[in-house]
Structure 1
Amino acid sequence: MRIPPGPTPVAGGTAELLGDADRDGAWVLMLDGTPQSHVDLDDPAHLEFEYVRRMGHVLDLAAEPGVPLDVVHLGGGALTLPRYVAVTRPGSRQRAVEIDQPLTDLVREHLPLPRGARIRVRAADAREALGTMHPGSADVVVTDVFAGARTPAHLTTVEFAAEVARVLRPGGVHAANVADGPPLRFARSQVATLRTAFAHVCLLAEPGTMRGRRFGNLVAVASDGELPIAALTRACARDPMPSRVVEGADLDRFVGKAAPVVDADAQPSPEPPEGVFGR
């Protein structure tokens, strides 16, 4: 592998690959100074970022261990989760949508994919690409899209959730990165929005973030089938950075009177405070 270049212009700003001082063979993709992805080339099953590990738990429980999945990743970055699925579920077919083609080119050149990985990356807007996918063609849809440090407004709505539900097979699972801070109005509205399209929804969150003490990443999980709440709870509890699984009546109380978001009223996720995510 060649030494990665310094700051590189990409469509979304300036990208840079920085070595992880704690792990040989590991790299952090920075986009305009914000950590965007972490990749361990020697161990693609290693997930460094806390919220990405929670998404990993969802993928682990989407089917029996080792069973291949059809996965759609909205937001590509350094393809951390596609790499994870490729090595934990060999033979999986994966589609990643990343609007920033120069960013994908940088990643492909310097951070090679695992041998045999079946990962196709498409340069397109996430929602537009989702709209072209066949109904019932995915077991899992992962949404982790940022413009700068904010989720674009058109990926936060009832209409978008309906598109995700259309692409999923019966019993399929949606996992979405929800970045928010006190008083968590955005997260509450996102749960209300997902509930318009899915019968079952839960949140995975670090307790301090869930209590509104700090800005952070929550993971919303949704499906038309029963979610593996007990198994998710165990996985989140034994994580190096434990998190809570909020569901049922607790989730009802969390959502309160928050209303679903429609396209006409959509706003991006909140801007992280200065100092969060290395900003």
Structure 2
Amino acid sequence: MGRKDRRAARRAEDVHEIGSGEAELLRDPDREGGWVLCVGGVPQSYVNLADPTFLEFEYMRLLADVIDNLGLEREPLDAVHIGGAGCTLPRYVAATRPGSRQVVLEPDAALVALVRERLPVKDVPGLRIRVTDGRAGIAALPDGADDLVVLDAFADARVPAELVTAEFTADVARVLRPGGVYLMNIADGFRLMWARRVAATVRSLFPHALLLADPGVLRGRRFGNLVVAASRAPLPVPELARLAAGGLARARLVEGGDLTDFIAGGAPIRDGQDVAAPVPPPQIFGRS
């Protein structure tokens, strides 16, 4: 088989049609059990089937740092994940907090079927996947049902605007227990106007909030991920600041007055407003 034929065979094997376009599974040649799941050419998840505690993406490590510092003991959590992809974070929580009960809300049925077949979740204890969108899935949950809600949902490389509005965030707050935490992975770049408005939205509903991101992203020098954490109860700021400064994923933590300055008058996002998350520059993922 010639090189061109081998490329065609690999494409036929690794590229799959899903509801939102095409998904591609790429094996990590340097790490056993490692897979990258791309949707529309954009890396969505890195899954290590051999070691679910291994987190390749820096933003995922920041999300995990927050989760690791919820409570003094690694007690089980009741968690909801808005956005499924490869279920990287649910696998991590199941491994690090045994006994946790988790549900993933993912609207793309074909993507769910692909993950179940190629990146199996049937052996992840306490994990269920519901084929539904984030708003409908959260609306169906009872009041005060969960310790953790994680938003890590992207469509066409951007966070759907309907998942960051004040109305949706209020529904998330309804689902959380008094000490529960809302975690968000968003992305922004130059001037960070989207991130400022998302932070303003969260601050309008939760008394305690913080941002974690690479210093270059926070300065608006490059496009990248920002992690938002919010709660009705105080967050573990000293521990997270220490990890951000010296951890594998170097980041800066912004909270309190610094977060107020970061928001700088950004208005909360409301249902019905014509807003859209920024799209990453094509060169980030090698697209043209």
Q: What's the secondary structure of 2:282's corresponding residue?
A: coil
Judged with a 3 Å threshold, the aligned counterparts in structure 2 of structure 1 residues 169 and 86 are, in CA distance, closer, same or farther, namely same
State whether residues 35 and 278 of structure 1, in contact with CA within 8 Å, keep that contact through their aligned partners in structure 2.
no
User: Does 1:78 pair with 2:86?
Assistant: yes
Give the letter aligned to residue 221 of structure 2: R
User: Does 1:6 pair with 2:14?
Assistant: yes
Aligned to 1:125: 133
- State the identity as a percent: 49
Shift of 1:195: 1.1
Q: For 1:15, which of 16, 19, 23 is the aligned residue?
A: 23
Give the letter aligned to residue 38 of structure 1: Y
Partner Cα separation in structure 1 for residue 193 and residue 175 of structure 2: 28
Q: For the aligned residues, what is the CA RMSD?
A: 1.5
Judged with a 3 Å threshold, the aligned counterparts in structure 2 of structure 1 residues 220 and 278 are, in CA distance, closer, same or farther, namely farther
What whole-Å deviation, never above 9, does each CA across 1:198-248 have from its counterpart, x for those lacking one?
A: 001100010000011000000011000001000111222222230011001
User: Does 1:212 pair with 2:220?
Assistant: yes
Aligned to 1:189: 197
What whole-Å deviation, never above 9, does each CA across 1:16-46 have from its counterpart, x for those lacking one?
A: 1101122111000011111010000111001
Q: Which moved more, 1:222-231 or 1:111-120?
A: 111-120
Partner Cα separation in structure 1 for residue 273 and residue 124 of structure 2: 43
What whole-Å deviation, never above 9, does each CA across 1:36-75 have from its counterpart, x for those lacking one?
A: 1000011100111011111111111123342100000000
Q: For 1:198, which of 202, 206, 209 is the aligned residue?
A: 206
Aligned to 1:230: 238
State whether residues 116 and 122 of structure 2, in contact with CA within 8 Å, keep that contact through their aligned partners in structure 1.
no
Judged with a 3 Å threshold, the aligned counterparts in structure 2 of structure 1 residues 239 and 114 are, in CA distance, closer, same or farther, namely farther
Aligned to 1:142: 150
User: Does 1:258 pair with 2:247?
Assistant: no
Higher helix share: 2
Give the letter aligned to residue 92 of structure 1: S
Shift of 1:119: 0.5
Shift of 1:129: 0.8
Q: For 1:103, which of 98, 111, 118 is the aligned residue?
A: 111
State whether residues 20 and 28 of structure 1, in contact with CA within 8 Å, keep that contact through their aligned partners in structure 2.
yes
Give the letter aligned to residue 282 of structure 2: E
Q: Which moved more, 1:208-217 or 1:255-264?
A: 255-264
Partner Cα separation in structure 1 for residue 286 and residue 150 of structure 2: 24
Gaps in structure 2 of 5+ consecutive residues: 1-9
Give the letter aligned to residue 184 of structure 1: L
Q: Which moved more, 1:105-114 or 1:81-90?
A: 105-114
Q: Which moved more, 1:193-202 or 1:115-124?
A: 115-124
Judged with a 3 Å threshold, the aligned counterparts in structure 2 of structure 1 residues 37 and 53 are, in CA distance, closer, same or farther, namely same
